[in-house]
Structure 1
Amino acid sequence: MIIRSLLDTDLYKFTMMQAVLHHYPAAQVQYRFKCRTPGVPLARHIDEIQGEINQLCQLRFQPEELDYLRGLRFIRADFVDFLGLFHLDAKYIRLRPSVEAEGEIELVIEGPWLHTILFEVPLLAIINEVWFRHADPADPPEGERRLRAKIERLRQAGGGVDCAIADYGTRRRYSRDWHARVVPILRDGLGEQFVGTSNVHLARTLGLTPLGTMAHEWLQAFQALGPRLRDSQAVAFDVWAKEYRGDLGIALSDVVGLDAFLRDFDLYFCKLFDGMRHDSGDPFEWGERVIAHLQQMRLDPRSKALVFSDGLDVDKVLALYAHFRGRCRLAFGIGTNLTNDLGPTPLQIVIKMTRCNGQPVAKLSDSPGKSMCEDEGYVRYLRQVFELD
C-alpha cells in the first residue's frame, strides 16, 4: 500500500480545501491527468494503479492526525470536524487506457470540489511509485551520495536562513519510503537552512514546519466562480485574504501570465501579501519584474519574499540566490531533484483542473508546454480578456 495516511499530501491541498468548505462548498469541478514525458506506457500498470486507488479510498483521518491539524493556527475547528467525517471516494475517478495515445492512460476526476480536491497529490505519488517499481532499478546509495553532495553545495553558498530550502517533492517522488529517507537527511544536513516540507505527514512525524499556501487550481476555479472573468484573479486573492486574515500570504503569480498578475496585484495586494511564488517562465526575469513592481508601489522589496519552485536543481538555486541575495527575502522549494534522483529518469506528470461548474478553466503558463485546457476557444477568449494577445 503506497499511501498510508491522508496527511501524505501537500499542505496547500488542506488550505485550499478549507477555503472551499467555507466559501464554495457546492462547486463542481473536473481534473485531468497528463504525462508530459512522451511514450510512457502507463496503461500496462493500470490494474495496479487502480488497486492502490481503491486502498487510498479506504483511508480515514486518525485522531492524532486531526489533533495535529487542529494545532495549526490557520486551520479552523469546523474544518477539522469535517475531515473527521471525510473519505476519498473512487466513484469520482475514471481511469482507463487512453483511446488517443496507445499505451497511455486517461485519468479524469470529476465531482464536488470539496470531495475531490485531495485526490491530486496521492494519485500522482501512486502513479510514480507504481511506474518505478517496474522501471530500471534505482541505486539508493548513489541517490544518497547525490543528495549529500547537493546539501554540501547548498551549505557552501553561505546564505544560511537567507537561502531557505524546502522540500516540495511529494508528487513526483521515487517512492514513499525514499521520501521518508530524504527529508531527515535534508533536515540534519542543512540545519536552520532547511525550513520545512510541503508534506503534512512528514512535517507531523518529523517535527518540521508544513509549508504551502495556494495552487493554480484556486485561481483557475475563479474563472468560473468570479463575478467577471477579468476580475477572477483579484477576487481569488481577495477571498484568500479574507479566509486567512494575514496567514499563508504567498501569492501564486502565473495562472494567467505575469503581465496580467502584475496588473491585478496592486498596492492593496502588495501590502496585504507577504510575497509571491514563481512557477513558470524565466525566474530571473520574473524576479526582476516583481522587484521593480514592488518598487513602483513604493514598497521595499527586502520586506517581501520571493519563492522559487519551478523545476529547481542546486545549480539554479545557487544562481538565483547569487543574483537576488540582499534584494528581497528568498526561499526555494525543490521537488523532483531532491526526491527522485536515484538513476531512473523521473516522469513529468501533472493533474490539473480543467472545468469548474461546467465551464472550462485554464492556466496560461509563462512556460511553453505547461498550459493545460481542453477548450482552445476558451483559451483564446481568456487571452483576449486579460489582454495577452
Structure 2
Amino acid sequence: MKRYDYPIVKTLLDTDAYKLHMQQAIFYNYKNVDVVAEFLCRGDNFLGCYSHVLLEQISMMRSLSLSHEEYIYMTSFPFFKKEYLHWLKKFRYNISQVKINNYQGQLHIRISGLWQEVILWEVPILALISEVFHSNFSPEISTISAIQYLDSKLKKFFRYTKNIDLSRLKIVDFGTRRRFSYDVQYAIVKRLKEKFPFLIGSSNYHISRILNLSPVGTQAHEWFQAHQQISSNLKKSQILALKTWLSHYGNHLSIALTDSITMDAFLHDFNLFFTSSYQGIRHDSGDPVKWGEKAIKHYEESGIDPRTKTLLFSDNLNFKKIISLYKRFNNKINLVFGIGTKLTCDIPYVKPLNIVIKLVKCNGKPVAKISDSPGKTFCLDKKFLKNLCKVFNVS
C-alpha cells in the first residue's frame, strides 16, 4: 500500500464553497449546535484497509490554516463578514472529532462536535478517501491521461452541439469530493478554462482562487437536516431553514436545494415569498426532466416568469446529459449545470467511488434525508424516518 510522507490536502480552502457558506450562517445563528456525521460507501468497495493512511492524513490537517493571501481573497466577497473571517483565520481542525476504524474490511468514520467545526470535515475526508483509493488501485493513471480523455469528450461535445445555440450555457466544476486526485481536478479545471468558454466557476474555493474563477455553491442537505431538530416544529423545519438562510444572505447565494425531504414537500414549503426571493433551486436527485417541468410549473402557478429564475442541475451529470437538459429547458428558464464525478474522476478503466458523509444526529437527536432517488434516502433511526414521512406526507 502506498504511504505518504506529505499532506494531500494542503490548504483550508481545498473544499466546496457551500461548506464555508453554511459555516458562516451557522457561526452567526447556531454556534452551540452539536452534530454527528457518518461515512457511507454506497458501492461494494472494501475501504477499511486505508484507515491507517487516512488517520495519518487527517492528523496532518491539524496544521492547516487560512494564509494571509487567502484571507485577503475571502474579504473580496461581499457576503463574507469580518467577524466570521477573523474566526476562520484562527480555525484549526480538531482531529479528536474524527473516529476512524476498519471493521471487517469496511471503513467506519464518525465525526462529532460543534456543527460550525464539524462541517469542514466532510469534503476533505471524502477527497482523501478517493485519492488514496485511486493512487493504490490505479497508480499508473496520470493527469496526462485524464486530460487526453477530457479533450476527446470536448471534441464530441462540440461536434454534437454544432447546430445548437450555446450562448446561454453555463457549467461549473462540482468535482472535489470524489475526484481522482487533486492534481487531476486542477488539471481538468485548468484545461476547461482554456478550452471551454462555458465554464463559469468551480465549487472549490482554492482552485477558484488560483485559476481566477467564481466559487459556486449555496447549501447542502445538512442545512435542512439539522433544522429538523433545531426547529421546535418539525413540520416547519424547512421553512425555518429557508428563512434563516435568506435572512443571512439576502440576494447573495440564493439557490435552494430541493430534495432533503423530496421535491414535493419542498415546493409545499416554498411559498410565494421564498419563490420570489430566491434566485432559483437546485436538483440533486430524481428524474431531472420531471423535476425541471415541476419547477417551471411552480413558478408559473406562482405568477412568476420562469425566465427570471434559475435551475441548477447537479445530479450525476455528464456532457451528454447536459446537452439533453439544455435543449429541453434552455428557452424556458435560466440554467446552470454542476458536473462533478463525471468530470474529475472520468478516466478510462477507472471506476469512481460512490461515497458520502451525511449528518445522522443534531443536538443528540436523529435527522434524515428523504431523497427523490430511493437509493439516496438516509437515516439511521427508522422510527424518526417514519415520523418524518408522516409529517411531510411522503409515501
Q: Same fold (TM over 0.5)?
A: yes
Distance 1:140 1:14, change over 3 A: closer
TM-score, length-scaled by structure 2? 0.95
- Cα deviation digits, residues 3-38 of structure 1 (max 9, x gap): 000000011001100000000000000000001111
Backbone CA RMSD of aligned residues:
1.1
Matches within 5 A, 1:25-36: 25-36=31-42
Cα distance between partner residues in 1 of 2:308 and 2:156: 27
In the TM superposition, residue 243 of structure 1 has moved relative to its aligned partner by 0.2
* Partner of residue 148, structure 1: 151
In the TM superposition, residue 153 of structure 1 has moved relative to its aligned partner by 4.0
Which residue of the other structure, out of 236, 253, 257, is the alignment partner of 2:262?
257
- Cα deviation digits, residues 122-148 of structure 1 (max 9, x gap): 000001111111103325444222212
Cα distance between partner residues in 2 of 1:94 and 1:45: 14
* Partner of residue 95, structure 1: 100
* Partner of residue 181, structure 2: 175
Does the alignment pair 1:307 with 2:309?
no
Which residue of the other structure, out of 375, 378, 385, is the alignment partner of 1:372?
378
Cα distance between partner residues in 1 of 2:96 and 2:329: 47
Which residue of the other structure, out of 108, 117, 120, is the alignment partner of 2:119?
117
Secondary structure at the residue paired with 1:29? strand
In the TM superposition, residue 56 of structure 1 has moved relative to its aligned partner by 1.2
Cα distance between partner residues in 1 of 2:74 and 2:43: 35
Q: Does the 8 Å contact 1:151/1:186 carry over to 2?
A: no
Secondary structure at the residue paired with 1:34? strand
Cα distance between partner residues in 2 of 1:176 and 1:113: 26
Identity of aligned residues (%): 38
Cα distance between partner residues in 2 of 1:28 and 1:155: 48
Q: Does the 8 Å contact 1:10/1:170 carry over to 2?
A: yes
Does the alignment pair 1:245 with 2:247?
no
Equivalent residue pairs, number: 384
- Cα deviation digits, residues 358-377 of structure 1 (max 9, x gap): 11001000102111111011
TM-score, length-scaled by structure 1? 0.97
* Partner of residue 6, structure 1: 12
In the TM superposition, residue 155 of structure 1 has moved relative to its aligned partner by 4.2
* Partner of residue 130, structure 2: 128
* Partner of residue 342, structure 1: 347
- Cα deviation digits, residues 88-142 of structure 1 (max 9, x gap): 11110110112xxx21111000000011110000000001111111103325444
Q: Does the 8 Å contact 1:172/1:340 carry over to 2?
A: yes
Which residue of the other structure, out of 367, 376, 389, is the alignment partner of 1:383?
389
Distance 1:161 1:2, change over 3 A: farther
Matched residue type, 1:30: V
Secondary structure at the residue paired with 1:333? strand
- Cα deviation digits, residues 31-68 of structure 1 (max 9, x gap): 00001111x12111211111000011221111111111
Secondary structure at the residue paired with 1:254? coil
Cα distance between partner residues in 1 of 2:333 and 2:261: 24
Which residue of the other structure, out of 116, 141, 154, is the alignment partner of 1:138?
141
Does the alignment pair 1:64 with 2:69?
yes
Matched residue type, 1:202: I
Which residue of the other structure, out of 17, 21, 34, is the alignment partner of 2:27?
21
Matches within 5 A, 1:221-236: 221-236=226-241
Q: Does the 8 Å contact 2:254/2:279 carry over to 1?
A: yes
Which residue of the other structure, out of 286, 293, 299, is the alignment partner of 1:288?
293
In the TM superposition, residue 213 of structure 1 has moved relative to its aligned partner by 0.5
Q: Does the 8 Å contact 2:157/2:320 carry over to 1?
A: no
* Partner of residue 52, structure 1: 57
Cα distance between partner residues in 2 of 1:354 and 1:308: 25
* Partner of residue 213, structure 2: 208
Which residue of the other structure, out of 334, 337, 342, is the alignment partner of 1:332?
337
Unaligned runs of 5+ residues in structure 1 are: none
Secondary structure at the residue paired with 1:163? coil
* Partner of residue 3, structure 2: none
Cα distance between partner residues in 2 of 1:239 and 1:334: 28
